């Protein structure tokens, strides 16, 4: 199965983390993010990213996302685990559906997103049977 669509970031609250270790121009940060999904998955999510920025403004991040959604006409809560990067103004992430409620065939599905303009991103989630 395959699910595709777009999400819109509706809130981004980022905070630089203090560290006793020097990153030579880089920094550590966390972000609390809210998003709205449309397409094959319709709903809203909240996620938290942990990020490491380099001295050029690029970042590597990991995070967990809780997505409350309509999926195949059924209410579901999905938990996504992200690994991604931000480089040259574009964010992208590979993720996995690590849990769902109710227990759903989408668990174990893998996906990715690539950012577009104005806080939007295109997503694709695939589950091979």
Query: Phi/psi at 71 (nearest 5 deg)?
Result: -135, 115
The 10 Å CB-count burial string (b at 16+, else e) for 37-60 is: beebbebebebebebbbeeeeebe
Instruction: Name the β-bridge partners of 43.
Output: 37, 69
- The candidate with the shortest Cα–Cα distance to 95, out of 80, 107, 108, 105, is 80
Domains in the chain with CATH codes? 2-126 (2.40.350.10)
**Which residues neighbour 57 within 8 Å (Cβ) at sequence distance 6 or greater?**
none
> Per residue in 12-71, pLDDT tens?
999 998 765 656 778 899 999 999 999 999 999 999 999 999 989 899 999 999 999 998
Kindly report, residue by residue over 70-124, the tens digit of the pLDDT: 988 889 999 999 999 999 999 999 999 999 998 777 889 999 999 998 999 999 9
Distance of CA 19 to the CA centre of its chain: 25
Res 20: pLDDT: 57
Residues 1-7 have a mean pLDDT of: 94
């Amino acid at each position: 199965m395959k699910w595709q669509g777009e999400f819109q970031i509706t809130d981004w609250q980022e905070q630089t983390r203090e560290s006793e270790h020097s990153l030579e121009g880089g920094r550590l940060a966390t972000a609390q993010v809210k998003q709205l999904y449309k397409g094959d998955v319709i709903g809203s999510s909240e996620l938290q990213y942990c990020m490491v920025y380099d001295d050029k403004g690029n970042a590597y991040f990991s995070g967990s996302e809780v997505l409350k959604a309509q999926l195949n006409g059924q209410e579901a809560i999905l938990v996504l685990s992200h690994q991604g990067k931000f480089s040259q103004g574009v964010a992208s992430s590979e993720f996995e559906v690590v849990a769902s409620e109710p227990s759903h065939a989408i668990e174990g599905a893998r996906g990715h997103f690539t950012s577009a303009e104005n806080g939007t991103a295109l997503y694709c989630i695939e589950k091979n049977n």
